Structure 1
């Protein structure tokens, strides 16, 4: 079984391999995104007249969840990159040391994050745009989400390590089972036990504990190519630095997303009030749902990139880049078509508030205008992270999230009010695409020069 996974990464047809590696991740991520939608839908439907305030509360809490995701994915992607390349080179000892160090980093970072988050919860939520009306809802939701940080970060980070050794189906099953648990518990806690927005948060934490337990089971069984050895958990500074430096672009991506949310939510509060924040919260959840198949492709191709680069199979890396770009472009086009065909119906799923729907329909159309150009940015980041090109990957992240989006969010509303905020998304998406293509093409050309001629 273990030998089969080595052979699969090294020799299987690229199209089939992308499909085989990505499909489980896509299914798991879609279900995970769906349960995030379900949180918002049940809160919107369960709070009656306060539905817009509840949705706004979850929206304000979202940047904190993005920071949690940044910790998990920064460590997970950095460690997974090392594991896939070392397996390709046949260095199982380094893979085992990397895995153990990932666990140590996740636990330390999660505990620190939880403590600081609980101490500064109100100031953080106010910075992220919580008005006096929204703050009680945001606080009630966020404090329980913070308590579950270590469970979420552990399962999310280790899922990347599991995919790195070619066991994408098990990584999918972790997301699938935890998501199903959350979807079942949400209506039970919110409606049956009348727990309101707190019920949505508690259901989420319980589902994260389930995912954590499944991850522990994986490494305690004999399924893994990489053994977990507690003796390797003592921090290896060089290995930890390598892990964090590779995953830094992913951590900064999520962290900068959170910081951008400060500007976005504060601008939305000025130009559209709590209702605009609620609209943005729904758009973000829909955007994440449409983005999950693209992220699934990213999870699927990273082990292919890393393993084959480590094994000096550079032509397979180039072929994977080309094919995955075509795939994600098609997926993005499909998402735009769906959003433009049924925008009103999308908002009615979350709330029957007429003002929210009226504001939301044009906003979501504008926000999705340049969605087709996002896929290539994600493929570029996957390639650079898998090959250990942390600086270039970081530059792609910073280009859209720091250099383009914040200035646009600040400047455009001065001339176009709330519409200017919505327009800042497609413009920054396109500019970020240009930067990503430049870095990706440069790396592909370098790989071409390494392929023996004749």
Structure 2
């Protein structure tokens, strides 16, 4: 948690520095984000080699087909989820570039990055909602595992129904907040662009 928090803090601090002080714009935001993630990765890797519960050695990195098979089965769902997010984001960015250029305002050089910037902001908001949803689901795993082990399947079904209800509520609240924010942002953006054009 500390490694992720430090990376996020670096991102927050260096975003305005890279964007406004260094005048890097969207590239600056990307550099700050990647920098924070690199620091988090380095700290997490360092922590792995200093854990007291167990120690990593050369034998820890040997390829074991039986173990890899189990890992692949357990990680396939997470992998498919992550890769689908990447593909959908890449598609969204490409559509913003392609169709944003056809707009009368966003086809102008000074406004051409606005659709991509909006997509980036939306993706950040989306990550927050995904984190809340994933946290709720992860919190239910030990409860479900305990009750499956105790053969209390009705409890697991009840847990799933409650979880799906809460997840739907989170999605509904997020959609309402997003749509209201989007409407206000679009109104202010169109107003400022119209004033500048006039």
TM-score range, shorter chain: 0.5 to 0.7
Task: Give the TM-score normalised by structure 1.
Answer: 0.33
Unaligned runs of 5+ in 1: 1-171, 356-454
The answer (yes or no) to whether the contact 1:175–1:211 under 8 Å persists in 2 is: yes
- Per-residue deviation, 1:203: 1.4
- Per-residue deviation, 1:338: 5.4
From the two aligned structures, give the one with the greater helix fraction.
1
Aligned residue number for residue 82 of structure 2: 254
Q: 2:43 is matched with which residue: 193, 206, 214?
A: 214
- Residue by residue, what CA displacement relative to the aligned partner does 1:358-392 show, whole Å, maximum 9, x if unpaired? xxxxxxxxxxxxxxxxxxxxxxxxxxxxxxxxxxx
Structure 1 segments (4+ residues) deviating >6 Å: none
Number of aligned residues: 180
The answer (yes or no) to whether the contact 2:100–2:115 under 8 Å persists in 1 is: no
Is the alpha carbon distance of 1:353 and 1:251 closer, same or farther for their aligned partners in structure 2, counting shifts above 3 Å?
Answer: same
Matched, 1:295 2:123: no
The answer (yes or no) to whether the contact 1:297–1:324 under 8 Å persists in 2 is: no
Cα distance in 1 for partners of 2:28, 2:6 equals: 19
- Per-residue deviation, 1:241: 2.8
Is the alpha carbon distance of 1:177 and 1:313 closer, same or farther for their aligned partners in structure 2, counting shifts above 3 Å?
Answer: same
Aligned residue number for residue 195 of structure 2: none
Task: Give the TM-score normalised by structure 2.
Answer: 0.65
Is the alpha carbon distance of 1:213 and 1:305 closer, same or farther for their aligned partners in structure 2, counting shifts above 3 Å?
Answer: farther
- Residue by residue, what CA displacement relative to the aligned partner does 1:396-429 show, whole Å, maximum 9, x if unpaired? xxxxxxxxxxxxxxxxxxxxxxxxxxxxxxxxxx
Cα distance in 2 for partners of 1:257, 1:288 equals: 10
Unaligned runs of 5+ in 2: 107-113, 192-198
Aligned residue number for residue 322 of structure 1: 158
The answer (yes or no) to whether the contact 2:48–2:56 under 8 Å persists in 1 is: yes
1:431-446 alignment, distance < 5 Å = none
1:3-42 alignment, distance < 5 Å = none
Matched, 1:234 2:62: yes
- Per-residue deviation, 1:214: 3.1
Aligned to 1:353, the other structure's residue is in SS state helix
Is the alpha carbon distance of 1:179 and 1:322 closer, same or farther for their aligned partners in structure 2, counting shifts above 3 Å?
Answer: farther
Matched, 1:173 2:173: no
Aligned residue number for residue 7 of structure 1: none
Is the alpha carbon distance of 1:341 and 1:233 closer, same or farther for their aligned partners in structure 2, counting shifts above 3 Å?
Answer: closer
The answer (yes or no) to whether the contact 2:144–2:159 under 8 Å persists in 1 is: no
Cα distance in 2 for partners of 1:321, 1:214 equals: 40
- Residue by residue, what CA displacement relative to the aligned partner does 1:110-145 show, whole Å, maximum 9, x if unpaired? xxxxxxxxxxxxxxxxxxxxxxxxxxxxxxxxxxxx
Max Rg structure: 2
Cα distance in 1 for partners of 2:44, 2:163 equals: 30
| Root-mean-square deviation over aligned CA pairs | 3.9
Cα distance in 2 for partners of 1:173, 1:186 equals: 20
Matched, 1:186 2:25: no
- Per-residue deviation, 1:212: 2.0
The higher relative CO (CA closer than 8 Å, separation ≥ 6) is in: 1
